Amino acid sequence: MKKNVCIIGAGTAGMAAAYALREIGCEVSLIEVQQKLGGTAVNAWVETWIPGLNPPYLKEILKRIGIDEKSITNSLLSKRFAREGKGGKNLYLPHEKLSEIYWQDMKSAKVEVLCGYTFLDAYIQDRKVKSIRVQNTIDNKDILEISASYFIDASGDGVLATYDGILNKDYYQGEDPYNRFGEDLLSNADLPNEVLIKQLNEPSLFFQVTESDVENGNIDSTVLPLNRISPNTAFLYNGYDNGNWVNPMTGLNISGWAVLNLSRECAYKMAVEQINNYWEFIRREVARRKRDGKPLYGYSDKVLIQRPNGVYAPMLGIRESRRTVCDYMLRQQDLAKLIRSSDLGRNIACGSHEIDFHVYGSLTFDKVNAFNEEKLCPSGIPYDCLIPVRFDNVLVACRAYGASHIALAARRVNKDMAQLGWAAGNAVKWCLRNLSDTQDVRKVNIIDLQSDRYTGFASDIKYIEREILQINK
């Protein structure tokens, strides 16, 4: 089948790209390995949307979910960079409602949605992807070939952006060598490459517990050390209107490298087993502390008589996998460059989240925290971070975009991915309108792309600079 655009992955970025393209009359194919649209935000239950810019399509979705204008405005920048009372607002998007809206909107648009299909291979000629093949994950028999003028890799892992027909290449994985990007937070000159490539941030898995397991039904962010399970912590949140509680297992003893390079099915089973063990640990710990007359960490003495109710997110929440070698690689130094409306450069996205590691490798918490406190500021992501060096008609808009290990740890949250997908979709829209058959995403006029006719990025930066931003670095 021939399409104008093929989007691989219907996560936050892939959906943003689809929204950008749905109304211009072009034929779009949207490929998703899961059965529901929305990626991590839906299928991994990562409902927290950390502050960042809201592309126009997302702002409309937020209103439909019922989030008020003030909350939307206060979600644009991290609190540390915003004027008093105008920043730091996390938004919480119920995954079931978000999935429903995605389905409704794509059904009404000229977007062919193929759920349950995974990327298989690609036909490449003269620096252009001519077609890809996708395979049905249910029967592993149905194979479709999709031709398109442009491809957007929103797969999360960069399955197309790093594909060369034989082996994956032109990507980085794990912690970068000391001298790759000149990042002074690194001190790993003596670490061998086989150690560096395994330093990926760990995944999480969310699961539900019933309200009867919790005292009074009003526990907020209860923290219990996982000293017998993991060195990290787990948090208990009330996330749903139906009274179920949601627990993100943030301290899984499963490496990001194992999830990427071995079996995700196996990693998922390991995560479920760890959750059950964790639950048993809490039950025993609560009973012991009650017996000893010690605080119960907010849990009831009746808590956890039984294991979790058996409802787990259908997929792991993955923070990091491959990072595509792109025309430009976002790096630590870029996180310290305050974005200005007077000099947008080639930026098409803006983030203000801190560098957030779940596996530190050779980095140290003290150095990272000092950078976050002293140098971090609202900064941009250039369009060139979306262009794989090997292709002319492919954009990568997901956590596999061009970034260092350090930069990705700050610019990988839902709002960042929404902006990247929105920019990628609008860039392809620009190409379809302004190019004949060259199919070269590098020819996009950046000023046009930043304008209100396309992303609206320039206006967004002017707005936060005028109304919200309070720093002057």
Residue 30 has pLDDT above 90, yes or no: yes
Do 169 and 24 fall into the same domain? yes
Cβ atoms within 10 Å of 223's Cβ, excluding its own? 11
Question: What integer pLDDT is reported at residue 241 of this predicted model?
Answer: 42
Sign of CA dihedral 279, 283, 288, 294: positive
193 domain residue, yes or no: no
Query: Greater confidence, 272 or 379?
Result: 379
Question: What integer pLDDT is reported at residue 444 of this predicted model?
Answer: 98
Do 14 and 161 fall into the same domain? yes
Residue 74 has pLDDT above 70, yes or no: yes
Question: What integer pLDDT is reported at residue 250 of this predicted model?
Answer: 56
Dump the DSSP string for 376-424: ---EEEEGGGGSBTT-SSEEE-STTSSB-HHHHTTS-SHHHHHHHHHHH
Do 102 and 218 fall into the same domain? no
| Number of domains making up the chain | 2
CATH of the domain at 37: 3.50.50.60
Q: Which two tokens stand for residue 96?
A: 């079931």
Query: Greater confidence, 28 or 473?
Result: 28
Do 325 and 286 fall into the same domain? no
Q: In the structure, what pLDDT confidence band is assigned to residue 113 with cuts at 50, 70 and 90? A: very high
Do 460 and 345 fall into the same domain? yes
Residue 29: helix, strand or coil by DSSP? strand
Distance CA 428, CA 170 (A): 23
Residue 217 has pLDDT above 60, yes or no: no
Mean pLDDT value across residues 278-292: 68
Mean pLDDT value across residues 56-75: 96
Do 129 and 57 fall into the same domain? yes
**Mean confidence (pLDDT) of the chain:** 85
**What residues make up the domain containing 99?**
2-173+320-467
Among 251-260, 319-328, 419-428, 446-455, the minimum mean pLDDT is found in 251-260
pTM equals: 0.90
Bridge pairing between strands 245-249 and 233-238? antiparallel
179 domain residue, yes or no: no
Cβ atoms within 10 Å of 463's Cβ, excluding its own? 16
Q: In the structure, what pLDDT confidence band is assigned to residue 341 with cuts at 50, 70 and 90? A: very high
188 domain residue, yes or no: no
Which helix (H) or strand (E) segment holds residue 55: the answer is none
Do 330 and 442 fall into the same domain? yes
Residue 314: helix, strand or coil by DSSP? coil
Residue 317 vs residues 170, 251, 264, 391, 428: alpha-carbon distances, Å: 24, 12, 11, 29, 28
Among 228-242, 246-260, 293-307, 446-460, the minimum mean pLDDT is found in 228-242
Sequence-ordered list of residues with C-beta below 8 angstroms from that of 409, at least 6 positions apart, any chain:
201, 320, 355, 356, 357
Do 11 and 153 fall into the same domain? yes
Mean pLDDT value across residues 448-462: 98
Mean pLDDT value across residues 36-59: 94
Percent of residues, the chain, with pLDDT higher than 90 = 61
Query: Greater confidence, 308 or 425?
Result: 425
310 torsion bin: left (phi>0), alpha (psi -120 to 50), beta (else): left
